[in-house]
Amino acid sequence: MKTLKYTLFFALATLLMAAECTKEDDEFYNAVYTTIPGLVNVETQTNYQVNDILWLNTNTFSRYLTEPNQSTPLDVFKTTNASKFSFLYSIEKKTSDNLWVSVANENNFIIESGSVSINNYITAFAIYNQVNEKYEFRGGIKLTEPGQFRIGFFAGYNGENFDVISDSSTSSTFLTIATTANSLSSGYYTFTVN
């Protein structure tokens, strides 16, 4: 009986210690998720030729955005104090094996405003402009060869669209905006370069 008591005691103690060590009372609270469509624009053309540049921009990404179910615009700069927002996309070419491979690299990518980090995908940073109160990005890929291409975006927090995320400091509110781009079909803009 005594052994059973102590076995139960130590089992309970171990359980409580494990629970103490893993409990998360302070779940991350300082984040806002919202949906605001149309923040990214693909500058589409009717036809594409080799050496054309396909641009992508955030010209509509104002500091003040219309938020669903709210009667007043959302001031994203005041909310986040963020100097930039980021989003991910890819530019891929279809190979003869019907595979899609990334074609963006630092040699064929042109930045007009904002900045990028290019790996297998492109991380675009729209940087806040205090003069026109917009988060600005305009980047283009030079189409150096013919073929079938596509621009793709990664599914966002809501399982669709894609996310534009504030680069907030710890003490500021983190804002994630599920947004859309024009001319997408199933998350991709597909085009042919002649």
Partner 1 sequence: MKKLFFLLLMLTQISFAQNDNAFDLGKNEIKFDLVSLVALGKIHVSYERFLKSDFSIGISGILNESNSLENDYVNGKSRTLEDYQIIPFVRYSLSKSQVRYYFIEVFVSANSGTYHELERLIDENNNGYYLSVDKKYSDFAIGGAVGHKFYIKEKIGIDIFVGMGKNLFSSGESPKIVSRVGINLGYRF
Shortest reach from residue 21's CB to partner 1, in Å: 6
Asked if 17 touches partner 1 (CB under 8 A), the answer is: yes
Asked if 12 touches partner 1 (CB under 8 A), the answer is: yes
Size of the site for partner 1 (CB under 8 A): 33
Among 6, 110, 142, 182, binds partner 1 (CB under 8 A): 6
34/58 with CB nearer partner 1: 34
Shortest reach from residue 33's CB to partner 1, in Å: 11
DSSP the chain: -HHHHHHHHHHHHHHHHHHHHH--SS----EEEEE----BEE---S-B-TT-EEEEE-TT-BSEEPPTT-SS-EEHHHHH--SEEEEEEEEEEE-TTS-EEE---TTTEEEEESEEEESSSEEEEEEEETTTTEEE-EEEEE--S-EEEEEEE---TTSSSEEEEE---TTSPEEEEEE-BTT-BTTEEEEEE-
Q: Which stretch binds partner 1 (CB under 8 A): 1-9, 109-117, 120-128, 152-160?
A: 1-9
Asked if 173 touches partner 1 (CB under 8 A), the answer is: yes
Asked if 132 touches partner 1 (CB under 8 A), the answer is: no
Closest by CA position to 66, among listed 30, 42, 38, 43: 38
Instruction: Please list every residue from 74 through 113 that binds partner 1, using CB under 8 A.
Output: 74-75, 78-79
Asked if 36 touches partner 1 (CB under 8 A), the answer is: no
Q: Which residues bind partner 1 (CB under 8 A)?
A: 5-6, 9, 12-14, 16-17, 19-21, 23, 25-30, 32, 64, 67, 70, 72-75, 78-79, 170-173, 175
